[in-house]
């Protein structure tokens, strides 16, 4: 019989945990880069400095499926799946490449290269989210700055149509309201925080003063503030009827904005997607520019999770346009309401699709998702698209799925923070799966080979 002591002596020592400092959390567009991770036996054991969303992202990643590739539901070697993907996409007359945000900008660049080889329509998740802000920016320009500058300088912050306290908790504590900065050393005590929204939420309850406006009245409110800042007299009855808030309250806010040492308007989907959409954003950008006649003022849009800002940057770098680009004629054509993934699918035009870096059906209208389910499609992502394969092969076209390593956890690359700052994510745990960039590089080689 072997003694317990002897057993203990013969057992190999379990490797000590590895502590990784200053890791980037890719779970939302804040990309907090001060996360400490303890990694043991190939998985993250503990997370420090992250909010509850970030902790959950690192501690409960999606289940990994090591049979990484499949063709029509049957497991296939990676090479065979990529070759089949190239055949399917090359055979299409009007292919779509849809770039989603769970991937590095290096992979986004390769996806645009693939679209170029295919003469495809190429679009990103921005078309279904942040597009109104981009279009407003194209019309009016934008006065903005980095999150670091807001943190160090802003003594008035207006949260407009965004519940950051709930969705991005550390935006509130690390970059804005509660953060201590160079010129606001006491943090929250040195700042005035205001919220403009249609209903009470966690953010309106955390600020000094809230304005509850009529739904879809953002355009009217923005123009009320522009008029007051420009010294134009307004009809008090009309203002309260249109905005739900008395003129005296708007006059007080306009004065507060002019008197701020450094002001910031942080806006979200509530403003971007209410009636007016890109006209709201354009009017906001004009309001902020006009405020700079009186003081220093900027605006900052809150983006969705993942590398969505990187998609805009990479698309603009490679095609000259931020989203919704048609490469069918061999040169880029941009038409925001025409060449988006949702439009070309919902109109039944795309006859094959490459979906990369996320789950497309979560972002598409019912008509677009239904058409995507009917056509041949290649999915390259760490999360599988919930498509159904018709065993008769009649209704659904060929479906090729290639599972990739989880970006920011199992594979490294560049991501862009919401303020356009690029940050490098790390592969903190190993994975046998390829990255999106690995797969797209193989696919591009096939397409290039003719
Ligand atoms: S705020 Fe966003 S980036 Fe920061 S820890 Fe939370 S989920 Fe991660």
Q: What does the DSSP 8-state code read for residue 360?
A: G
- For residue 64, CA distances in Å to 216, 357, 434 come to 43, 15, 12
Structural tokens at position 127: 């078309």
Cα–ligand 1 centroid distance for 48 (angstroms):
11
Q: Whose CA is nearest to atom 8 of ligand 1?
A: 54
- Is the Cβ atom of 51 under 6 angstroms away from ligand 1? yes
Instruction: Count the alpha carbons within 13 Å of 77 in the hemisphere toward its beta carbon.
Output: 3
Using the atom order of ligand 1, give the atom closest to the CA of residue 53: 7
List, in order of start, the domains of the chain with CATH numbers.
15-56 (no CATH), 64-128+306-448 (3.40.50.740), 131-301 (3.40.228.10)
Would you tell me how many other CB atoms lie within 10 Å of the CB of residue 449? 7
Q: Whose CA is nearest to atom 7 of ligand 1?
A: 54
Residues linked to residue 29 through DSSP beta bridges, in sequence order: none
Cα–ligand 1 centroid distance for 169 (angstroms):
7
H-helix or E-strand containing 209? strand 209-212
Cα–ligand 1 centroid distance for 166 (angstroms):
11
246 backbone dihedrals φ, ψ, rounded to 5°: -65, 150
Q: Convert 304-321 to b/e letters by CB count within 10 Å (16 or more is b).
A: bbbbbbbbbbbbeebbeb
Q: What does the DSSP 8-state code read for residue 54?
A: H
Give, for all 450 residues of the chain, the pLDDT tens digit.
444 444 444 555 667 888 999 999 999 999 999 999 999 988 899 999 999 999 999 998 766 555 689 999 899 999 999 999 999 999 999 999 999 999 999 999 999 999 999 999 999 999 998 899 999 999 999 999 999 999 999 999 999 999 999 998 899 999 999 999 999 999 999 999 999 999 999 999 999 999 999 999 999 999 999 999 999 999 999 999 999 999 999 999 999 999 999 999 999 999 999 999 999 999 999 999 999 999 999 999 998 888 999 999 999 999 999 999 999 999 999 998 899 999 999 999 999 999 999 989 889 999 999 999 999 999 999 977 665 555 444 446 789 999 999 999 999 999 999 999 999 999 999 889 999 999 999 999 999 875
Residue with tokens 């998985």: 43
Strand order in the sheet with 43-48: 18-23, 35-40, 43-48
**In this predicted structure, what is the pLDDT of residue 4?**
44
- Is the Cβ atom of 26 under 6 angstroms away from ligand 1? no
Using the atom order of ligand 1, give the atom closest to the CA of residue 35: 5
**In this predicted structure, what is the pLDDT of residue 418?**
94
- Is the Cβ atom of 28 under 6 angstroms away from ligand 1? yes
286 backbone dihedrals φ, ψ, rounded to 5°: -70, -40
**In this predicted structure, what is the pLDDT of residue 67?**
61
**In this predicted structure, what is the pLDDT of residue 449?**
79
**In this predicted structure, what is the pLDDT of residue 1?**
40
**In this predicted structure, what is the pLDDT of residue 10?**
52
**In this predicted structure, what is the pLDDT of residue 386?**
62
d(CA 404, CA 104): 12
Cα–ligand 1 centroid distance for 176 (angstroms):
14
Residue with tokens 């054991």: 45
For 227, counting Cβ atoms within 10 Å of its Cβ (0-12 exposed, 13-18 middle, 19+ buried), the class is middle
Cα–ligand 1 centroid distance for 305 (angstroms):
9
- Is the Cβ atom of 297 under 6 angstroms away from ligand 1? no
Residue with tokens 């929250």: 188
């Amino acid at each position: 019989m072997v003694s317990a002591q002897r057993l203990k002596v013969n057992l190999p020592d379990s490797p000590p945990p590895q502590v990784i400092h200053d890791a980037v959390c890719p779970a939302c567009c804040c990309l907090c880069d001060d996360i400490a991770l303890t990694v043991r036996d190939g998985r993250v054991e503990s997370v420090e400095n992250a909010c509850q969303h970030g902790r959950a992202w690192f501690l409960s990643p999606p289940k990994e499926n090591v049979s990484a590739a499949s063709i029509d539901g049957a497991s296939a070697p990676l090479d065979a799946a990529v070759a089949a993907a190239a055949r399917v996409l090359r055979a299409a007359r009007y292919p779509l490449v849809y770039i989603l945000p769970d991937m590095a900008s290096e992979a986004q660049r390769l996806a645009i290269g693939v679209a170029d080889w295919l003469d495809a329509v190429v679009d990103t998740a921005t078309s279904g989210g942040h597009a109104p802000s981009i279009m407003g920016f194209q019309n009016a320009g934008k006065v903005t700055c980095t999150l670091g500058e807001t943190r160090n300088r802003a003594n008035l912050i207006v949260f407009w149509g965004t519940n950051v306290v709930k969705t991005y908790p550390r935006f509130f504590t690390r970059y804005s309201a509660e953060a201590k900065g160079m010129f606001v050393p006491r943090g929250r005590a040195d700042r005035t925080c205001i919220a403009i929204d249609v209903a009470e939420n966690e953010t309106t309850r955390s600020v000094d003063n809230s304005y509850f406006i009529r739904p879809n009245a953002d355009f009217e409110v923005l123009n009320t503030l522009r008029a007051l800042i420009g010294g134009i007299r307004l009809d008090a009855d009309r203002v309260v009827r249109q905005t739900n808030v008395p003129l005296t309250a708007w006059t007080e806010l306009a004065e507060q904005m002019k008197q701020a040492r450094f002001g910031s308007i942080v806006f979200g989907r509530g403003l971007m997607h209410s009636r007016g959409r890109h006209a709201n954003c354009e009017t906001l950008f004009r309001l902020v520019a006009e405020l700079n006649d009186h003081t220093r003022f900027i605006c900052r849009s809150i983006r969705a999770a993942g590398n969505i800002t990187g998609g805009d940057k990479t698309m603009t770098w490679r095609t000259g346009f931020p989203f919704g680009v048609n490469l069918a004629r061999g040169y880029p054509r941009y038409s925001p309401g025409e060449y988006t993934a949702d439009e070309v699918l919902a109109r039944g035009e795309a006859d094959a699709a490459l979906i990369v870096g996320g789950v497309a059906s979560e972002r598409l209208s019912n008509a677009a998702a239904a058409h995507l389910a009917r056509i041949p499609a290649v999915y390259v992502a760490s999360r599988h698209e919930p498509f159904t394969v018709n065993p008769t092969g009649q209704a659904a076209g060929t479906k090729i799925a290639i599972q990739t390593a989880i970006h920011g956890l199992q594979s490294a690359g560049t991501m862009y923070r919401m303020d356009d700052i690029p940050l490098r994510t790390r592969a903190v745990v190993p994975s046998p799966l390829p990255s999106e960039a690995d797969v797209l590089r193989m696919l591009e080689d096939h397409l290039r080979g003719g």
